[in-house]
Each structure stands twice: as structure tokens, then as C-alpha cells.
Amino acid sequence: MPKLIAPRDGITVRFYRIGHGDCFLLAMPKGTDDTAYVLIDCGYKPGSQAFVKKKTTKQIVDHLFEACGGHLDLVVITHEHQDHVNGFWKKNKPFFEDFTIGQAWFAWTESPTDPKAIALREKHRDQILGLIQAYNSLALRVGVEHNSVKRLRELISLEVGEESDVDRTKPLLAADADPAKSINKQGMKLVRTKSVGEPQYFKPGGDIQTVPGTNVKAYVLGPPYDETAFGKEDPVGAMAFPEDETHPLSFSAAALEGSSPQLKSSPFAPKFHSDASSHYGVVLNTRDECEAPNEAIEVEDRATWRQIEEDWLFSSENLALALNTGINNTSLALAFEMPITKKILLFVGDAQLGNWLSWKDLSWATTEGREVTVKDIFGRTVLYKVGHHGSHNATLNGAISDVHPNLSWMAQGKHAQEFTAMITAVRAWALTQDGWNHPLPSIKEALLQKSAGRVLQTDSDFPSKPEGTSAQEWARFTDRFKSDDLFFDYTVFDSED
Amino acid sequence: MGISGTANTIRPELTRRLRVLAFDPSLSVQLETAALNQLTVGVPWEDGLRPGPIGEYIEVIDRDPASDKWYEPVDLNDPIVLAQDGLAPSESDPRFHQQMVYAVAMTTIRNFERALGRVAFWSDHRKRNAAGDLQTQFVRRLRIYPHAIRDRNAYYSPLKKALLFGYFPAGAKNTSTPPGTVVFTCLSHDIVAHEVTHALLDGVHPRFNFPSNGDVLAFHEAFSDIVALFQHFSHPNVILSQISRCRGNLGAENLLSQLAQQFGQATGRGLSLRDALGRVNPKTGEWEPMKPDPRALLKIKEPHGRGAILVAAVFRAFLKIYRWRTADLFRIASGGTGNLPDGDIHPDLAKRLANEAAATADRVLQMCIRAIDYCPPVDITFGDYLRAIVTADLDFAPNEGDSYRLVFVESFREWGIHPRNVVTLGIDSLAWPSMREIWQDAVALGSSQMLHGQEELQQRLKDEFLAPAMGKLNWTLDSDRFSAWTSLSEVSKILWHWLYNGDSIGKDYARLVGLRIDGIDPHLPNTVYRKNGRPTVEIHSVRPAIRRAASGGYRTDLVVEITQRRRGYFDAGKQREIEAAGGELQIEEKGDFTYRSGCTIVIDPSSGDVRWVIKTAGDIADNQQLDRIRNFMTGGEGVYGNAFDAGLPPTTTGAQREEPFALLHQLGDEPYA
């Protein structure tokens, strides 16, 4: 297999079909006849690879190794989720052990020195520990096959990373959230250590960056340097990034406390505590006088289906969802700009609503003194890596006149004819996860409309030509596109054609 | 003696006075609002009320599983407690929490019973018996767990027939509560009323949990908000202190709207209601009411946002009625100019205005609750609800002129709520049709076989259904609820048999009310559920209503809901294929989703006159309706869920959300826009 060579006047984006997750290799011209290699994420959801032409992570990584000759000029890690980072590390022999890495870029939230980032990670860790305890109690009480328990396990697994062959009938260990053990953390650590240059941690706005060794510029859109935006998942009825989970009366505190009632904190003074059997015998079925008079047609007081012993633990799913959104919103969102035509390749990681909304006020000054706004960047976007597997609220919809960045801002004027979207999703697998709706049909439809059919998705070999598109126009797209079982190659030329 | 064993005697003429918070504890710590927050309500006296409180309708069970504690139940019959109108408000005493949920829940139940003219029931528990048949069980009491979960959440569980209230430490972003203190959702007056209303609505319409169009869940939320809001406003004291501060003509209206918004914040729906009711104008810094947006419904799909539009439409009607009812007071007080002098208004005027506002709120509340007996059994839309309000009010106040009804029609129109298949927005075309009108239309369309059938049908309805049924009924407001429930299920059986046998004269009258029960009908697809070759019908409910009309007289009605089911497939091609192939489908074959249709009919039991017929948008053979529901179920009309679950309705094969209201009720954060 030959190396992937960048065209002299363009960028080739290799979209690895790794499973339900992200792995992109960008080949850019370097110097006069060399290629710079940029890797953006490498991860997948365990289980999802069985739903695309059977492949293994090793196959993908080996292929990647050959394509770049074992050297990556730049590795970008968007955020710490399994489906973006679990391809780097493996126990005993890490997948990326033999690579050399020039530079590594992260979001400011990964910075080892930023106090805000440190506090955020501590909070995240405490909450994960609480979730794991809640998960174990739930699994014990209602079983691992319960829908809510399964959903919870998937969400936790995204946060901590988990081996694909893990036995899900066994409890999760608190140690799994230990930084020393989590696959996610290990993968990120490996990239940091391997990076020759000092790892960089970006805040939005700021200087316009240059991809090492190339003339390609990079604008940092997110994550916002305001962690309150992380909780914004939904425009209405939004939940905050969970807070105060260290409070003794919080959910996490209760989940972490021992099983002995004496140790449990309560919002009320001991004088109000009651001996269950004295007042609530009817509910507990401890008194024999409580038979229902018409058992067949009237509900009994002691009916166990009316009890709520486990219900509080189900709140963990809400907490897990909020956490997941929070971490998705720490995604490093980058816009790469080509040197001549200034076309934009937009990689947003898994940014959701809060991250998107924060971009609207950003602007940059070029060396020529020109002001670049986000609307400007969106207008020149010809390639869009769709946020969070095409889910609800990770690609905002809206009108060109709206104040918040959205899909209709993208690809204005001549750029519209080139606009192409990439969705990292294995839909058949996602639907087995209690109906994860990835990609959301309405978002996919909007993308298909906007791009006139030029949407690449992990699990579909080749996009089909829409009716009404001329063969000539379609050929302009397919000429620049190559489909393989392991990857798609798509080239954006830095010229007006 | 167990708690199920006895029916408590309720003596509505006596009341038990109990202290509650008018809003939530955060107002008690602010000097300005502390007095306003105290309210004493009178709830119906229950003779056998036990510690809990456990009464006829409600059982408060104070279990806190996260803390692994049980809390001492309040005994409201303790002489000391009785002598001081219940325990004094206290956040740190769980017994006050129990007292408050009991009092607010009982007030809400009482309002329902008053409007609907019958005892309230909770939705039945359905279970499979040993033989595998579905069986329904009577649920006497709604269970309330005031400290069930540690979450910013409170919800009604249709499965457990219980309300679960959460508590949580207030976050740093919360402006009304100091960080670190604990917020109890069961101490918010409005949240309690809202959740109880969910349970009461579920008792009347158990299928309103199932979203078959974008309005269904929104309606559940909006209706619960409407009841909580207007119940709140019907306490004159709550409004009085606000009105005292108002100046000028429109001031009171703005204050009422702002009060409604505070309500929204208390129930965690601040953002939606804020958008629907009004906002502070950034230029002037003054609060301004929102102009109704007739296109809002086209844009907003999320149930709370959508529900807020219905709340705003009803609230607008309330303001208009209030304005017209107080116009004379303003004229008197302003010497005819309509402009009040600067400064606080006269206390007497404030009191009169507060009383008018409270009376108006009560009238609107009763209108809105009565309407639920006039809704289709499934697939409700906001437009259907408008027609239900209009029809119900025609029954309640036929001779009062159309003013109240017209105000509602106008407000709903301004918010873009249009009933489907209605040509004009006149009161007569908005009211549901009577059987007589439907019959006339059918005859005019040339169904000659029906020419002389109406009298025959009415006579048979009377002789074969109503006569045996009315003998069974035991349904007055003070009858034991269990025996009333038992008699109603017997009446359902009589009706079911009559429908099957009575219609066998071969004229297929059932089609007139939107039912297809003819087994040999060649146009009836095989996907419709059948038993022994005949399409099945479910008598969804039969319920009596003895209502006091505005004129003072009483009217008795029998409200009957009947539905049918058909298998739906997400793949329209597959659906056509199966239906073209014909042949009987196995009962185990459930399709991808269930399409339901049917009707609600309101019968005058003494004459056999079918006074109102409320059909769903199409009958069970209607392919257009099936397509519409398929489109909705597959997300064709937009979705509102989270990043994983798009919030689409449950399918017959997919996993069910265990608690449909739990996710919806996550309390919102502070608005961010």
C-alpha cells in the first residue's frame, strides 16, 4: 500500500471507516514536494465494527501507519470520549506505539495548568465515580438487561473507555474511572508523551494557527472558555452541566455512601426519622391486616410495583446524559483554511448546542489586517465533518439571518456547488443501542439537500446521485472521491474550477 | 383493617383548613414577598383521615430511598394540629411537606370533581392474570412520595400511579435560592398542582400519554400548567398584593402576566412561558407582554415550548375576560376617563379587582377542565381542545351569549391554533356535531337506507343499552368510588354487547360515529385488529357527569369513548403489500406501531339523544391518517429529544420509556438566551 500523497494544490481527507466513531487523516502539501499528515481523533464504539464490513482497529491503524509512513506531523484530539480516542492505546501494546508525532493539539479543557480545566476534570471524575456506584447498585437490583441500565452502561463506557470484550454482567469498578486505568486517559497521555513539540491547549479566538510545515491556517472556534456553556444541549428545557455533586445531599453523595442506613445523610433531623414498620406497615406488607378486600379487581396497598426503592437511581441516566453533553461540548472545533482560495474544512468534533452558540461573537484579524468572522468562515466551508454522528442538536438548523451559527450559514455562493458533508455513524449499530438515532433523519435530509447528495457516511459505500443532478456535475464530485472498504478519500482542491 | 378496606366518608360541606405555601419557600425569605407566600386552604373534610396523610384519594408515603429513611407521618387529626390550621410552614419538618402535598392535591381534585360532576378516578392498573388475559384493577389512591429522588425533577408515574418528587442542592447559578441549600420540589405549590393534574388527566384519558401528533404530549403539559396556574389565581389573596401595586389601566394585566411567568419559573418552565407571555424590552427596560405569534406552532416542536403556546392562548383569553369584567370598575374609579391617577390604587378597588381576577380565573379553570369530557379519545390536537372548550361551554351556559366562547376562539386564532377540517371559526361550526346533524348530512349525501333509521336507533339505544345500564349505575358525587367504578365497568360490558349485537341489523350505523365494525366490509384492511373475524372495539371508558349549569339547573350526561386499533408499518410499501395480500393476521403480529381511532359520544341518558359526536380525524380504515401518524412516528415532523434518543414515540417492538414524564420533567436551568 503506497503512502497517501497530498496533491500539490489541495488537501486529501481520508475518512477511516473505523466504526461508530471518528478517525481522519488529512494529507496537506508540505514544502515543495512533501506531505504533512494531520490525524484528527481515532476511536470507535465497541461493537459497532461488526456492523460495517468486518474490520479491526489493528487493521485500520496498520493502514494508517503505512499511509503516513509512521510519522504524523500533527495529532488533534477533539475531546475525551471513547469513540474519539480509544484507537490510540491498548494494554501491553498500544496501537500507536510505533508512531512518531510532531505536534499535538488539544482543547483548553485538557490543559494540565489551567485552574478552570483542573477543576472541571476533578468534578467530572467525582461524578463518574458516583455514576459507577449507581450503575452497580442498579445492576444488582434490576439486572443488567434492564433498558435503563443498558443505556447507562453505554454512557459510562463513553466516558471512561472500556475494552470491547468486557463482560457486561460483571460490576464496573470504581478503578475504571481512575486516570491511571482509563483507556481514554491512556490514549491521550500516549499522544502527549509522543509529541515532540510541547502539546498545545487552545481557547477559542486568539491567534490564527498554522498547521506545522504547511501554509494551511486553522481557526479555533470552540470549546468556549466558559464552562456554563457545556450544559447547553437543548434549546428549551436545558439541563445544566451537573453541579454541586459533592454536596452531602446530592445524588452522587447518596450513590457513593455505604449501604448502612446509619451512614446515609438525610435532609431531615433524626427526630423525624421513623421506624418503617410502625407507620408504613401497610406498604411494606409487614402487618397481616392489610389484605385488600377485592384482591382481583382492586390494587393492594402492598403491591411491590408501586414501590420506589430503585427509582432514585434512575436519575443517574439524566446525570450521565448531562455529563456526556458536557464532555461533547468540550470538543475542540477547528476550521482549516486553504492558502489560496481560502476554502474551509470544518471539523467540529462532537460539539453540541452550547459549543455552537458560543461561536457567534468570535472574530480574528489576519496579518493583512482583514477581519474574519464566523459567518465568513461558515460561508467558505466546502467540507463539513458533521457534529456528534449527526445527532440532534450537534448541527444547528436555522436561517441565514439568525444570530447563531447554523447549517444555512455554510457554503455560500460558489462554495455551495462543492459543499460535502461527512457523517461518522453506523446507523444499524446505533439503533441497537436502545435506539440511538444517529444520524437523525431530519439532519441527514437537510445535509443531503444542502449538498445535493454529497454526504459520506461510515456505513454506506457510495452516495447515490440524486435525481435532478446532471451526470457532469455528479462526476465533478466522484472524480475527487474514492471508496474503499477501509476508508473514503476525498480531495478538496485549492483552485477555482 | 387495612387502608384499602374502608372508604372514607367525605363531607364536602365541612372543610379542614390547612396552611400551605402560596408559591415556594424562596419567597418566604424575602421581606417583600413573605406575607404573600402564606395561604390557608380549605380542603374537603375526610372522616377517616389517617397519619400520612392517607385519605380517600391520596396516600402520602414519606420514603426517601436515597437516604434510606422513612419519615414520621403527619397526623392532621391531632387536636393541636387541628387547632392551628395544620402545621406552620417549615422546610426542615417533613411533616409540613406531607401536609402541603396533601392539601394542594386535594384542592386540585376538588376542582376537577366540581367541573366534571363526578367522583375522580385514577387510571386503572392493567395486569395480566394467570391465564394471560389483561385485567384492570381499581386504584383507589394516588400515592405521593414527597422525597422520592435526588434530582431536579418531579414527575407522575403512570406505571406506579404515584407522584415522585425530588430534592436537590441548589447550584451556584440559581438566583432565588442560596447555593448549597436544598430545594424541595414538593414545596412548590405549582409543581404539586401540575403533577396531580397529570395524574387526573391520565385517569380520564389514559391514551393521552401516547404521542401520535406533536400536540399530544404538549397538551398533557399545557393542561397541567393551565390547571395549576388558574387554580393559583383563583385564590384572591395571591393576587391582591400584586394588584395593590398596580397603576393605570393596563398595569394589572401586566402584573398578572408577570405573576404567571414567576409561576413558569417555579415549575421549571421559565424559558418557554417567558417566551410565550412576555419579556423585558431591552430598550426601555420595561416588561412587555408578548404579541401572539400565529406562526409559533409551526416552529416549535418540543412539548414544553409547544404547550406554552396553548397556555399563552388560554391566558390571553383570561386577560380579555378580566378586562371586560373590570371595565366598569375602572370607569367608576377614574371618573369615566379610564385613566387612574398616579400612585397606589385605592384598597377597596384593589380588593374588587382581585376578586374579579379570582372569579375570572375560576371560570376559565372550570371551562378548561370541563372540556376534557369533550375531547376525542386519542390523538388530541390543540384545535380539538378549542372545539371541546366551545362545546362544553355551550352545555354549561347556553343562554349566556357567546362572549366567553368568542374570547377563546379569538385568542386561539391569534396564536395560530386552528381546528382541522373546520370551515369557519363561528361558534356553530366549532361546536362538535350532534348525531342529528350527522344523520342529516348522511341522508343529504344519499344514504337512503338511513332515512328512517334515526328514531329506530335512538329507541334501541334507549331500550337495549340505556335502560339496563342506568339501572346498574351508582354514580353520585358521594357514592363510594369503588362501587361506582365497578358499576361503570358493568355498563361498559352492556354497551360492548349492544354495539356488536345491536348493530347487526346490517345498516352499519356505527360508521356515522367513526367506527368500522362490519366484519365483511371489503374496504376494511386486514391490518385492523379483529377477533373471530370481526373488527374489535374497545370501550375505552363510560363515565357519567352530573353538571351544574350556569343557570343553576343540573344536566346529566353519559360520556362514552370507543376506540379501534390497526397495525401500522414504518415501511409504507410493506403496509400496502400486507393489506393487498389480505388474509387474517395472527394476534401476535403487532406491526411497527399502532394506529388508533374512534370517538367520544355524549348521550342524554333520559332521552337516548346522542348530543355530541367527537370523532378522531379519520376512522380506522383511513390511509391518510395512517400515513400522517407514520410520518410523525418516524420523525418527519421534527424531534425534540437529546443527543442519543430523539424522543420519538415508542414503537411496538422497541424498548419503552419506563417513565414517559420523567425525562420531560427535568427542571430547566436558568434561561440563557
For B61-71, how does the pLDDT look when each residue is reduced to its tens digit (9 = 90+)?
A: 999 998 889 99
Which of the pair, B468 or B56, is modelled with greater confidence?
B56
Give the model confidence (pLDDT) of B208-238 as tens digits: 888 888 899 889 989 998 998 888 888 777 7
- Report the residue from A249, A282, A324 with minimal CB separation from B150: A249
Cβ separation B672–A238 shorter than 8 A: yes
Query: How far apart (Å, rounded) are the C-alpha atoms in residues B312 and B103?
Result: 27
Query: What integer is the mean pLDDT of B76-100?
Result: 94
Q: How far is CA B123 from CA B126, B141, B496, B538, B565, in A?
A: 9, 10, 20, 16, 20
Query: What integer is the mean pLDDT of B189-200?
Result: 91
ipTM above 0.85, yes or no: no
Residues of A in contact with B94 (CB under 8 A): 268, 272
Which of the pair, B565 or B235, is modelled with greater confidence?
B565
Residue B153 touches chain A, beta carbons under 8 Å:
yes
- Other beta carbons within 10 angstroms of residue B156's beta carbon come to 28
Query: How far apart (Å, rounded) are the C-alpha atoms in residues B531 and B524?
Result: 14
What pLDDT is attached to residue B245?
66
Query: How far apart (Å, rounded) are the C-alpha atoms in residues A236 and A393?
Result: 11
pLDDT at B646 over 60: no
Question: pLDDT over 70 for what percent of chain B?
Answer: 80
Name B216's Cβ contacts closer than 8 Å, sequence gap at least 6: B208, B210, B379, B380
Cβ separation A233–B643 shorter than 8 A: yes
- Other beta carbons within 10 angstroms of residue B632's beta carbon come to 20
Which chain A residue lies closest to B143 (C-alpha atoms)?
Answer: A306
pLDDT at B316 over 50: yes
Residues of A in contact with B66 (CB under 8 A): 251, 254, 264, 312
Query: What integer is the mean pLDDT of B475-503?
Result: 76
Query: What integer is the mean pLDDT of B493-509?
Result: 69
What pLDDT is attached to residue B98?
97
Cβ separation B135–A296 shorter than 8 A: yes
- Report the residue from A228, A236, A273 with minimal CB separation from B71: A273
Q: List per-residue pLDDT tens for chain A, 497 residues long.
A: 789 999 999 999 999 999 999 999 999 999 888 999 999 999 999 888 888 876 789 999 999 999 999 999 999 999 999 999 999 988 888 999 999 999 999 999 999 999 988 888 887 887 788 788 888 888 887 788 877 788 888 888 888 877 666 777 777 766 665 656 778 888 999 999 999 999 999 999 989 999 999 999 999 998 998 766 666 543 322 222 344 456 778 777 777 766 666 667 889 999 999 877 667 766 665 444 444 455 567 887 778 888 888 888 887 877 787 788 788 889 999 999 999 999 999 999 999 888 898 898 899 998 888 899 999 999 999 999 999 999 877 888 888 888 889 999 999 999 999 999 999 999 888 877 766 778 888 788 889 999 999 999 999 988 889 988 899 989 999 999 999 999 999 999 998 76
Pairs across A and B, CB distance < 8 A: 248
pLDDT at B653 over 70: no
- Other beta carbons within 10 angstroms of residue A125's beta carbon come to 17
pLDDT at B308 over 60: yes
Give the model confidence (pLDDT) of B430-463 as tens digits: 999 988 888 888 777 766 555 566 777 778 788 8
Query: How far apart (Å, rounded) are the C-alpha atoms in residues B130 and B137?
Result: 14
Query: What integer is the mean pLDDT of B639-663?
Result: 55
Which of the pair, A262 or B561, is modelled with greater confidence?
B561
The three-state DSSP-derived secondary structure of B89-105 is: CCCCCHHHHHHHHHHHH
Mutate to test the interface with B, among A146, A226, A306, A432 (most CBs of B within 10 A): A306
Question: pLDDT over 90 for what percent of chain B?
Answer: 30
- Report the residue from A237, A324, A438 with minimal CB separation from B666: A237
Query: How far apart (Å, rounded) are the C-alpha atoms in residues B652 and B591?
Result: 7
The three-class DSSP label of residue B118 is coil
In terms of Cα–Cα distance, which of B152, B65, B644 is closest to A137? B65
Query: What integer is the mean pLDDT of B83-94?
Result: 93
Give the model confidence (pLDDT) of B167-188 as tens digits: 988 764 555 556 667 888 899 8
* Distance between first and last Cα of chain B: 57
* Angle at which helices B382-396 and B347-370 cross, to 10°: 110
What pLDDT is attached to residue A238?
27
In our burial notation (b when 16+ CB lie closer than 10 A, e otherwise), range B492-521 reads bebbbebbeebbeeebbbbbbbbbbbbeee
pLDDT at B134 over 90: no
- Report the residue from B3, B482, B641 with minimal CB separation from A301: B3
Q: What single-letter DSSP state applies at residue A480?
A: T
Query: What integer is the mean pLDDT of B599-625?
Result: 90
